Structure 1
Amino acid sequence: MQTSLRFLLLSPLLCLLLTNYAAAQQAVAAAPVVDGPVHKVEVKASAYDARREDTATKIVVTQEEILKNGDTTIGDVLKRLPGITIGGVQGRGGAISMRGLGSGYTQILLNGEPSPPGFSLDTLAPDMIERIEIMRAATAEYSTQAIAGTINIVLKRAIVTAQRELKVGLQSDNRQPGANTNFQVSDKVGIYSYAVGGGVTYGRQHWPSSDSTTILDPNGVETTRRETANDSRGNFKALNLAPRVNINLGPNDVLTSQSFVSASQWRGVNTGDTDTRFGTLPQFSSSSQDVGQTNEALRTDLSWTHKMAGGAKLDAKAGINYAHRETTIDYHNFYPGAVLALTRNIDSYASDRGVTASGKYTLPLVASHALTTGWDGAWSNHGESRIQRDSSSVGFPIANLDQDFDATVARIAVFGQDEWSITKQWSVYLGLRWEAIRTRSAGADYSAVENTSSVWSPLFQTLYKLPSKSDQLRLGLTRTYKAPVINQLIPRRFNAINNTATTPDQQGNPNLKPELAWGLDLAFEHTIEGGGLLSASTYLRRIDDNQRNNTALIDGTWLSMPVNTGTAQAHGIELEAKFPLRHFYKTAPAIDVRANLTRNWSSLDAVPGPNNRLVSQTPVSANVGVDYKAGKLPLTMGATYTFTNGGPVRFSAQQFDYSTPKRVLDMYALVKFSAKNQLRVSLANLLHQENGSATTYVDAHGALSDAVHTPTVTVFRAMLEMKL
């Protein structure tokens, strides 16, 4: 707690110190306005559409689209985009997936670099983001750990004019209050320019849920049924700052410094009371957890752009990362009759430190033909200490543990890419990237282990514009991979309070290999006058050395460990439409329509069917939304309906998962009082559908199934936005 408070107090000072090192983007000089033809060229340049013009497929989400719905988290923004789904309970964050694939198949970048260890997207306010780039097919410039695709979140960088902006918001979530304040300050003085953005968030949470456990004998007869009522209450506080200071060193040199500082604190109490309707009693009939966690993170980088003769350009960047986490959990576990059986206290401390460096050189060979070569590398160290102390007055077995471990991860990559506009209609992208990762870990309860892997990734993309000028075709062939994360590699055991086949102990596997994938992407795009688009795309992935968690009973204890098993196949289709309604009906109201649909399939050759899909893959996702501008009134309204299908998944011969479909309806309204003041009101999760999931383990002794049912609520938000 004291560490967190010190960090909060020192954050503004850190920002000021960082800005003294900083540097910047060169301001775009305003071209003089002259007669007609020149003016037309200027308009076309400002309307550059990266999605249509870039050879490498890319969807760019602008800041206006990011802020439109009044979202407070990145997950809420992303869930409306084509092919992207968010796992977990509606509105509470979860794994971000493309093509229905999360769990590391989707690469998340921050300013073009992998998110640093200890960094959470939940701490990043949408106001800090300049744009979001979605890349379905990999490119050599970025890491090719992107089997499903890449989402690049770009923080605000450009400083064009002086700005003073303040946003104050309130929200209600299950009758629990919340508030957030965001600000943006920027200005330019000669060759210098600066900007500081930030925000403060506070919220209270009350999240009830219920569990049900059933046990069947080998004949399918139900022998045990239990019902557990859970309750989670707590509060969350967060501060984040993003300072930028820019210096224009001359016509050919620009320095850019950008930093992100965050601190957050969570305090809560979780309780569970089990009612055994019949059959075997659980190990504990009730439990409570007092949880406290503080997180602090810093990321800063300095980049330099140097323009050379003949249009060549050199970009270089170096950065540092730091994160610290302290967690305290006090468990109280009871026998029937409220008899305290076990008290367990866990104190854990984790820190991450790292450095990054990258560079690229771009050389125009001939007209419409550019060659880029570059490299990037990173080194990070993760240290963690976990102290567990048990006590029992009734003779329950206790386990006092002192677990320390230290892990380092080193990554290096070199790449080359060539983009060539062969004709006005046809362009080709070729890339090659080599990337290697070395992991080393040692702990108090296990010997040092090492894991090294490297991957060559040839990449090809092409764009062909059909003679109609509004239609074009895309093709991509890629080699991508998914490397194990550090927790999957270290052979340290994490013990479950109630050890069962559905809640086993967890342990890493130091021999785990990366998954390797060949990919094919095809797309057809049709541009509609007025900014609309119709597109249809399909993809295919063949994934070798597929990773999955295998659960087994070892020496009387259930243990889950990641293993490589066989080959997986994944494929799907994606449809998207965006258009103004007036394009089809001239007398229609000013309504913009947006819709997308994604259907995904997968299979694992090492797992018997049916439903032997990749874990957590979303079979179907869809969005339908409208935005309406109310004529001469200063009012804009909109709504989005999101559907995410669930269903059964079999990820081993004995293990099954199931999740219910999710249906979410969000609405917003924007009222402009003046050019500088406006009010944004939103209602999220209007359908407040219950979320459900289940895990089942089946063997010769019968079946054990745990199901979770979580009610959800409608969240109300109001944000007053002022330009000062």
Structure 2
Amino acid sequence: MTGVKVVPALAGVLGLSFVSVAYAQTAVPAPSGTQQVVVNAAQDEASRDFAAAKIIIGRKQIVDSGVQNVNELLKKEPAVTIGKDGKPGLLGLPGYTQILVNGLPPSGRDVMSLDLSEVERIEISKSTTAENGPFSIAGTINVVLRQHVRQQQQTASLQMRADGASPGLNGSWTLSQSEAASPFSSTLNLTAGQSERRSSGNEQQVLSNGSGVLPQYQAQRTRWDRNQYVSLSTEMVLQLEHGSASFKPNFGHVQTWNDKEEARQWQNGRHWQVQGQASSGLSGLMLPLNWQREDEDWGESEFNLRWSRNVISNEQRRLEQESITSNNGSNNGSSALREQSAQEINYDWLLSLTQRKTLRGGHRLRAGLELQQNHREPVTLYRLNGLPDTSLVALGSQISQWTQKRRVFVQDDWRVSPLLALNAGVSLADQLSEAQEVSGASQSRYRVLSPSLHLAKKLEHDPKSQFRISLARSFREPDADALLLKPSVNPLAACTPASGCAGNSIDTADSSGNPALRPERALALNVSYEQHLKGDSKLTLEAYQRQIHGKTGTELLLLPVAWANVPRWVQRPANLGDADVTGVNLDWRLGLKDWQADAPKLEVRGNLGWARSELKDWPGPDNRVDGSLPWRAKLGLSYNAASLPLRLDLDASWLPGDWLRNNLSRTTYTSHQTSLAMTAAWTVNRNAKLVLNLDNLLAQDRTGISRYQTSAGTLETRSLSSSHLRLSLRGEFRL
């Protein structure tokens, strides 16, 4: 049974906490004789299958970490890479890592921002298995939510945060109820809060050619974001004779506002300034039902049914002012007020059925069916100076998209002997997407077959040390938005009703999707050796290769378009050709007490990774796979004081600066990133605990460079973005 209290989607917009105070009425245990649901899934899976190399971050490790959400916890895990965009991934490939919740695709929530109080464990697989599905070229991160436990308890919390100088506040209240004589129990959760964040940056552009370096423009920008949210969720659990049923409806609303200012000054005397305000809201209702049953003849059955409805609204207002100062000192100026209103209604339902059965001879058979359907209708209206913007009629105002996904799988975990295990399976997935846009109807359909095979062999003299090899056919599916044309005009090359859409420059390209986009296909190979040292200390050396066909990227083209009478530069997703990724990882966890009993309780963990990637059909240099860096490193230390109830954690990571060829005309550079975080947890007594978090201690500003090769020369834009220290002080009390 996997009952959880559900907090909806965009609660993840919150930052880290500055001060947190939690208080609770003393929990009243369920009276004797009351059944409690206790599922030891992590240990059960580990005992039955070691072939697929599953890493499990258990509940004790989660509690000891002292951090607040899933993303912060994954930063500590040696096997997980946090990309420069902040996204987690495996094998240094965040864009190729599948994220699941309870083994299913997430819906209506930001998984990485989930509070760890909701999480039972996190399962990490750096390869593809039939049960997890075919869309996991680099592997899968599966967040397993906490199981419901029958108890009488009421808790509340209050938190204040700071991201730099920007404060925030949020609170929650939870009530759990159960009766000894009743098989029914329930949990109610109410959460609300707000946060702020300020950022700034600047950029400059130059043109390099045979005549030298010619300055083009300078720009400055500031932005202020504010977020508010409220969510209400409940979980109702019914204990049955051979299983359980749970119903977990939740409702949430998130509202965001942002104000931004940007000014650009060109060398030719042109000045452009924009003041923008935007507000967006998301209201979501999700109704998930879970049923589980265990039968002596049929084994374990699990049924999930989930329906959700999300309404997204967006209002944007931009006051653009432009002036040109001529050589004689005269000034000609104009202004325009551009407004955009958008609303999207999104319906989604999912049905899954999984059957597990233990057979003779060490076989553990699993089979499943998954059906998902999504319907979305975005509507966008454009206005210029208070009137409908007729220059953007060709973009269309309404889109209808319908997507249907189906998947079946079968998998056998075969324990051949205590030292040898085999995991073999196959997954078949089918997707049909149909869309109606102003340009007409489009359809995209694909079917993928993903066989996988994993073999693990433990050493006879040391069963904790083992070899593993994995081979699988895996895929990366296109994003739903990427399958829509849905063109967007670059605001720096805007259209007007009087002159229409004139030509734009290569660095002010419009954007659109591509209904012809196909899934990426990959042949994945992993070979690893895990060496047990002493106690819980171990080293893991892993080599991997991914042969990718139909690599997805972006193409930048000068094209005739429906919204202009002249060709315009357009950037869109496309299948670019074949690519290879080859790499080696070294992970370690070393406990000093494993070698010396009277040594301090100090653990050292870390990762070193090297990789080489190449997009074969593109010219070099820098024709690498996006996200794949030549090297990366992580180092973590955990110390438990002997005479004090104090635990200290220090975590650092390094990512090098790197150039990447985005398409045939553009290359980009992102600066190196060195991050440093510290956590101190003080257990005052059994009823009180204080946790201090300091994140982004170095607060490095980030540099970016974008280069375009044009007929006039090399156009280079350099940007600098600010960064802030994030501070969290949390108190946890039980009264």
- TM-score by length of structure 1 reads 0.87
Shift of 1:699: 3.1
Aligned partners of 2:401, 2:418: CA distance in 1, in Å?
51
Q: Does 1:286 align with 2:273?
A: yes
Q: Which residue of the partner structure matches residue 57 of structure 2? A: 61
Contact 1:333 1:343 in 2 (8 A): yes
Shift of 1:150: 1.2
Contact 1:130 1:155 in 2 (8 A): yes
With over 3 angstroms needed to count, the CA separation of the structure-2 counterparts of 1:298 and 1:579, relative to structure 1, is farther
**1:213-243 residue CA offsets vs partner (Å, 9 max, x unmatched):** 22223x2722233221110112112234443
3-state SS of 1:498 partner: helix
- Alignment-mate amino acid for residue 376 of structure 2: H
Aligned partners of 2:306, 2:62: CA distance in 1, in Å?
27
With over 3 angstroms needed to count, the CA separation of the structure-2 counterparts of 1:398 and 1:371, relative to structure 1, is closer
Stretch moving more, 257-266 or 458-467? 257-266
Contact 1:162 1:188 in 2 (8 A): yes
Contact 2:70 2:113 in 1 (8 A): no
Q: Does 1:244 align with 2:235?
A: yes
Stretch moving more, 161-170 or 549-558? 161-170
Q: Does 1:605 align with 2:589?
A: no
3-state SS of 1:617 partner: coil
Q: Any residues of structure 2 matched to 1:562-641 within 5 Å, and which?
A: 562-641=573-652
Q: Does 1:307 align with 2:301?
A: no
Contact 2:137 2:474 in 1 (8 A): yes
Q: Which residue of the partner structure matches residue 509 of structure 2? A: 504
Contact 1:502 1:705 in 2 (8 A): no
Aligned partners of 2:390, 2:311: CA distance in 1, in Å?
33
Shift of 1:71: 4.0
With over 3 angstroms needed to count, the CA separation of the structure-2 counterparts of 1:693 and 1:52, relative to structure 1, is farther
With over 3 angstroms needed to count, the CA separation of the structure-2 counterparts of 1:661 and 1:412, relative to structure 1, is same
The correspondence for 2:315, drawn from 318, 324, 328, is 328
Q: Any residues of structure 2 matched to 1:273-422 within 5 Å, and which?
A: 273-276=263-266, 278=267, 280=268, 285-310=272-297, 312-336=299-323, 339-391=333-385, 399=392, 403-422=397-416
Q: Which residue of the partner structure matches residue 697 of structure 2? A: 686
Stretch moving more, 152-161 or 620-629? 152-161
Contact 1:166 1:721 in 2 (8 A): no
Shift of 1:73: 4.4
Aligned partners of 2:84, 2:88: CA distance in 1, in Å?
10
Q: Does 1:221 align with 2:212?
A: yes
**Identity over the aligned pairs, expressed in percent?**
22
Shift of 1:520: 0.4
3-state SS of 1:285 partner: strand
With over 3 angstroms needed to count, the CA separation of the structure-2 counterparts of 1:70 and 1:242, relative to structure 1, is farther
- Alignment-mate amino acid for residue 356 of structure 1: L
Q: Any residues of structure 2 matched to 1:33-112 within 5 Å, and which?
A: 50=46, 54-66=50-62, 68=64, 70-88=66-84, 94-103=86-95, 105-112=96-103
Shift of 1:356: 0.5
Aligned partners of 2:35, 2:520: CA distance in 1, in Å?
41
Aligned partners of 1:177, 1:385: CA distance in 2, in Å?
34
Q: Does 1:517 align with 2:522?
A: yes
- Alignment-mate amino acid for residue 456 of structure 1: L
**1:148-178 residue CA offsets vs partner (Å, 9 max, x unmatched):** 1111122222315444444433222221112
Q: Does 1:441 align with 2:441?
A: no
- Alignment-mate amino acid for residue 215 of structure 1: L
Contact 1:165 1:722 in 2 (8 A): no
**1:442-491 residue CA offsets vs partner (Å, 9 max, x unmatched):** 02x22010010000111111111111122011111111111212221112
The correspondence for 2:136, drawn from 128, 142, 146, is 146
Q: Which residue of the partner structure matches residue 121 of structure 1? A: 111
Q: Which residue of the partner structure matches residue 7 of structure 2? A: none
Aligned partners of 1:399, 1:371: CA distance in 2, in Å?
56
Stretch moving more, 170-179 or 521-530? 521-530
The correspondence for 1:256, drawn from 238, 246, 254, is 246
Stretch moving more, 266-275 or 407-416? 266-275
**1:568-624 residue CA offsets vs partner (Å, 9 max, x unmatched):** 111212221112222234443222222122223211111111210112333333221
Shift of 1:210: 1.3
Aligned partners of 1:591, 1:163: CA distance in 2, in Å?
36
Aligned partners of 1:597, 1:296: CA distance in 2, in Å?
43
The correspondence for 1:193, drawn from 180, 185, 197, is 185
Q: Does 1:450 align with 2:446?
A: no
3-state SS of 1:404 partner: coil
Contact 1:165 1:721 in 2 (8 A): no
Q: What is the aligned length? A: 675
Q: Which residue of the partner structure matches residue 671 of structure 2? A: 660
**1:698-720 residue CA offsets vs partner (Å, 9 max, x unmatched):** 13331222222112111111111
Aligned partners of 1:397, 1:560: CA distance in 2, in Å?
23
Aligned partners of 1:109, 1:545: CA distance in 2, in Å?
24
Contact 1:273 1:285 in 2 (8 A): yes
- Alignment-mate amino acid for residue 98 of structure 1: L
Q: Which residue of the partner structure matches residue 3 of structure 1? A: none
With over 3 angstroms needed to count, the CA separation of the structure-2 counterparts of 1:330 and 1:28, relative to structure 1, is closer
3-state SS of 2:134 partner: coil
Stretch moving more, 265-274 or 332-341? 332-341
Aligned partners of 1:472, 1:630: CA distance in 2, in Å?
33
Aligned partners of 2:253, 2:711: CA distance in 1, in Å?
50
Contact 1:311 1:364 in 2 (8 A): no
Aligned partners of 2:365, 2:38: CA distance in 1, in Å?
27
Aligned partners of 2:524, 2:130: CA distance in 1, in Å?
14
Aligned partners of 2:700, 2:183: CA distance in 1, in Å?
54
Shift of 1:380: 0.5
Shift of 1:409: 0.8
Contact 1:390 1:399 in 2 (8 A): no
Shift of 1:244: 2.2
3-state SS of 2:625 partner: coil
Q: Which residue of the partner structure matches residue 20 of structure 1? A: none
- TM-score by length of structure 2 reads 0.86
Q: Which residue of the partner structure matches residue 222 of structure 2? A: 231
Q: Which residue of the partner structure matches residue 545 of structure 2? A: 540
Shift of 1:196: 3.7
Q: Which residue of the partner structure matches residue 471 of structure 1? A: 465
Contact 1:144 1:481 in 2 (8 A): yes
With over 3 angstroms needed to count, the CA separation of the structure-2 counterparts of 1:68 and 1:470, relative to structure 1, is closer
Cα RMSD of the aligned pairs, angstroms, is: 2.8
Q: Which residue of the partner structure matches residue 454 of structure 2? A: 461
Q: Which runs of 5+ in 1 are unaligned?
A: 1-6, 9-24, 31-41
- Alignment-mate amino acid for residue 489 of structure 1: L
3-state SS of 2:628 partner: coil
Q: Does 1:204 align with 2:200?
A: no
Aligned partners of 1:413, 1:46: CA distance in 2, in Å?
25
3-state SS of 1:422 partner: strand
Stretch moving more, 295-304 or 206-215? 295-304
Q: Which residue of the partner structure matches residue 11 of structure 1? A: none
Contact 2:361 2:416 in 1 (8 A): no
Stretch moving more, 358-367 or 683-692? 358-367
With over 3 angstroms needed to count, the CA separation of the structure-2 counterparts of 1:247 and 1:548, relative to structure 1, is same
Q: Which runs of 5+ in 2 are unaligned?
A: 1-9, 12-33, 324-330, 494-504, 560-565
Contact 1:74 1:122 in 2 (8 A): yes
Contact 1:50 1:59 in 2 (8 A): no
Stretch moving more, 432-441 or 94-103? 94-103
With over 3 angstroms needed to count, the CA separation of the structure-2 counterparts of 1:405 and 1:56, relative to structure 1, is same
Aligned partners of 1:603, 1:175: CA distance in 2, in Å?
42
Aligned partners of 1:244, 1:417: CA distance in 2, in Å?
31
